[in-house]
């Protein structure tokens, strides 16, 4: 059993927030792979089924972002999922909007959801870092990530969510480089290239 976690805040007011792009990605993976229904489990919403031929539990923590680790730890312990079997999809302000990077372990770059998960289970899990761009001023970051994507951003957001779901089989098989490359090429093919918003330096 693998564990795919989407990070976000629960409740209708947060649905369209940049901070909730992890939720969006994992919800689309479930839809694309015919997995459901979602049920209340592990302090959140969960469903399980095959992704790319691999059995997976998909989890949306029902705690707020800074307590995400409670839900992840409960699910991981229940199924005895090792750290290298856990993949977390989350927003990343230090990547340009629409860019995706995959890494295992490393820093949390001030992300409260990652901080909580690392505190509960350790640090060496896989992260799918989904770039949402940077507001340009660190004092504006909280407002920025808790704001909805602008209408002008919805094109790349919808394209990226579809592409992530299309290629989820690669990530569950541990083909991280192929996953990141295919996502990049597919975004370029849809017209969302290197300069899509944001400041890579954060």
pLDDT tens sequence across 96-136: 999 999 999 988 878 999 999 999 999 999 999 999 999 98
- Which is higher by pLDDT, 138 or 58? 58
In a domain, 172, yes or no: yes
In a domain, 198, yes or no: no
Average pLDDT, the chain: 92
In a domain, 196, yes or no: no
Q: Where are the beta strands (DSSP E) in 70-198?
A: 86-92, 100-104, 126-131
pTM of the predicted model over 0.75: yes
Residues in the chain: 202
Number of domains in the chain: 1
In a domain, 90, yes or no: yes
In a domain, 194, yes or no: no
The domain in which residue 168 lies consists of 2-189
For 137, which DSSP code? S
**Residues with catalytic annotation?**
19
In a domain, 55, yes or no: yes
User: What is the share, in percent, of the chain residues with pLDDT greater than 70?
Assistant: 95
Q: pLDDT band for position 88 (50/70/90)?
A: very high
CATH number at residue 16: 3.40.50.1470
Instruction: Name the packing angle between helices 21-32 and 154-166 (round to 10°).
Output: 50
pLDDT tens sequence across 135-160: 989 899 999 999 999 999 999 999 99
Average pLDDT over residues 28-48: 96
In a domain, 162, yes or no: yes
In a domain, 195, yes or no: no
């Amino acid at each position: 059993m693998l564990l795919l976690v989407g990070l976000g805040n629960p409740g209708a007011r947060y649905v369209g927030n940049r901070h909730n792009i992890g939720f969006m990605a994992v919800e689309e993976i479930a839809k694309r792979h015919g997995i459901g229904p979602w049920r209340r489990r592990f302090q959140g919403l969960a469903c399980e089924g095959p992704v790319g031929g691999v059995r997976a539990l998909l989890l949306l923590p029902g705690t707020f972002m800074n307590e995400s680790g409670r839900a992840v730890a409960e699910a991981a312990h229940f199924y005895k999922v090792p750290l290298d079997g856990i993949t977390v999809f989350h927003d990343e302000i230090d990547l340009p909007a629409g860019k995706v990077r995959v890494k295992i372990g490393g820093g949390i770059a001030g992300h409260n959801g990652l901080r909580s998960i690392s505190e509960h289970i350790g640090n060496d899990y896989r992260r799918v870092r989904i770039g949402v761009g940077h507001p340009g001023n660190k004092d504006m970051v909280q407002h920025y990530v808790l704001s909805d994507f602008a209408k002008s951003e919805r094109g790349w957001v919808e394209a990226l969510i579809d592409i992530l779901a299309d290629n989820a089989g690669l990530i569950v098989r541990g083909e991280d480089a192929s996953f990141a490359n295919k996502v990049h090429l597919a975004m370029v093919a849809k017209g969302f290239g290197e300069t899509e918003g944001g400041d890579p330096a954060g």
